[in-house]
Amino acid sequence: MLENVFELSIDAESGSYLRETAKWARYFSILGFVCCAFILVMALIIPGIILRNPDFFQVQSQIQTQGMEVGLVVGSILGVAIYLYPCILLFRFSGKLLQALKTNDQSALNAAFKNLRSCYRFFGIISIIVIGIYALIFIIAMIGMAFVRR
């Protein structure tokens, strides 16, 4: 009987904790959507401000300015795309969890946990990538220092 493998349940106590978690997760995801919109708006406004600043052209050439502009916009869009994914997962998690707690819907509870799993897996992979980059920088710095000492 696969259905009865776990004898645990979401009782009144854990239900109240989960309901509060879901509310915070919803708030956090909405904050994430606001941040994404903010970053996108800034990415579209800031290059315009740079282009209108005549002092900037005295220091940088037009090609450099345009390159920076494109880099800023593309970087921001990429950043938003990466950040948007966990926000969507968290939003789905909170929605499904609240639905499960309200209607005792087992499939909604399972869907909520699956979204939470995807969200933590995403953050875990991002953490591994960041740690890998730091480790690479450290190794390159060590090799560089060894060459400088010679």
Partner 1 sequence: MEDNKPEILSDLPIDYDAGNTLKKILPWTKFISIAGIVFLGLILIILIFTSQRLSDSFKDNNPDLGNLWILSMLVGVLVVIVVFGYSLWMLLRFSILVKKALETQDQESFNKGIQSMKIYSIFIGVFAALGLISNIYNLII
User: Residue 7 carries which DSSP code?
Assistant: -
Annotate each residue in 6-35 with x if it binds partner 1 (CB under 8 A) or - if it does not, as one string. Answer: xxxxxxxxxx-xxxxx--xx-xx--xx-xx
Smallest distance, partner 1 to C-beta of residue 62, A: 26
**Closer of 7 and 55 to partner 1 (Cβ):** 7
Footprint on residues 32-71 left by partner 1 (CB under 8 A): 32, 34-35, 38, 42
Smallest distance, partner 1 to C-beta of residue 115, A: 10
As a whole number of angstroms, the distance between CA 90 and CA 84 comes to 10
In the chain, the amino acid numbered 62 is: Q
**Closer of 10 and 72 to partner 1 (Cβ):** 10
As a whole number of angstroms, the distance between CA 32 and CA 21 comes to 16
Max CA distance (Å), the chain: 75
Q: What is the enclosing helix (H) or strand (E) of 44?
A: helix 12-52
Measured at the alpha carbon of residue 42, what is the angle toward residues 70 and 67, in degrees to the nearest 5? 15
Contact status: 104 vs partner 1 (CB under 8 A): yes
Q: Give the binding range for partner 1 (CB under 8 A) out of 52-60, 66-74, 105-113, 136-144.
A: 105-113
CB contact at 8 A, 19 and 98: yes
- Say how many C-beta atoms besides its own lie within 10 A of residue 96's C-beta: 22
Q: How many residues bind partner 1 (CB under 8 A)?
A: 46
As a whole number of angstroms, the distance between CA 143 and CA 150 comes to 11
Q: Give the residue, chosen from 82, 131, 133, 136, that forms a contact with partner 1 under the rule CB under 8 A.
A: 131
* Footprint of partner 1 (CB under 8 A): 2-3, 5-15, 17-21, 24-25, 27-28, 31-32, 34-35, 38, 42, 100-104, 106, 109-110, 113-114, 116-117, 120-121, 123-124, 127, 131
